C-alpha cells in the first residue's frame, strides 16, 4: 500500500514514529512546540492522515496509531526522487550523492558491504 504523504503530514507521522501511539492532543502540543502550529492545524492534518489510511484513530481519547512505517514512507519518497530527478536510474542518484560528500573510511566500508550484499 503506497500512501503519498506531504511534508506537513510527515511532521505528524514523525511524532508517531518517534513516540508510538499518541493522543491527538499530545501530537498538537508537540507540534506547537516544534513548529508553532495551532491545535486546529494539527487536527486538520491528523484527519487528512486518517482519511488517507496512514493513521488509525483509536478511542477513547483520540489515540493515533501509525499504519505506515517510516521505512515505507522513505521508500516511496526515494522512488519518487529517483523517478523525478534521475529518470528512474538509481545508480545516478547514488553517484550524485557520493560525488558531493566526503565519506569517511567507515562509511566507504559500509557502502562496499551493501554493494557486496547485492551481488
Number of H helices, E strands in the chain: 6, 3
What pTM was computed for the model?
Answer: 0.81
Distances (CA, A) of 43 to 12, 56, 87: 10, 13, 37
Distance CA(105)–CA(30), nearest Å, equals: 38
Q: What is the per-residue pLDDT across 23-70, written as a single tens digit (0 to 9) for each?
A: 999 999 999 999 999 999 999 999 999 999 999 999 999 999 999 999
Q: According to the model, what pLDDT value does residue 54 have?
A: 97
pLDDT at 1: 63
Amino acid at each position: 500500500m503506497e500512501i503519498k504523504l506531504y511534508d506537513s503530514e510527515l511532521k505528524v507521522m514523525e511524532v508517531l514514529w518517534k513516540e508510538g501511539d499518541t493522543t491527538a492532543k499530545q501530537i498538537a502540543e508537540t507540534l506547537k512546540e516544534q513548529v508553532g502550529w495551532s491545535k486546529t492545524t494539527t487536527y486538520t492534518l491528523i484527519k487528512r492522515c486518517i482519511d488517507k489510511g496512514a493513521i488509525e484513530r483509536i478511542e477513547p481519547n483520540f489515540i493515533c496509531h501509525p499504519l505506515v512505517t517510516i521505512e515505507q514512507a522513505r521508500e516511496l519518497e526515494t522512488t519518487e526522487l529517483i523517478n523525478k530527478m534521475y529518470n528512474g536510474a538509481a545508480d545516478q542518484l547514488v553517484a550524485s550523492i557520493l560525488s558531493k560528500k566526503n565519506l569517511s573510511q567507515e562509511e566507504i566500508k559500509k557502502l562496499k558491504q551493501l554493494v557486496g550484499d547485492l551481488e
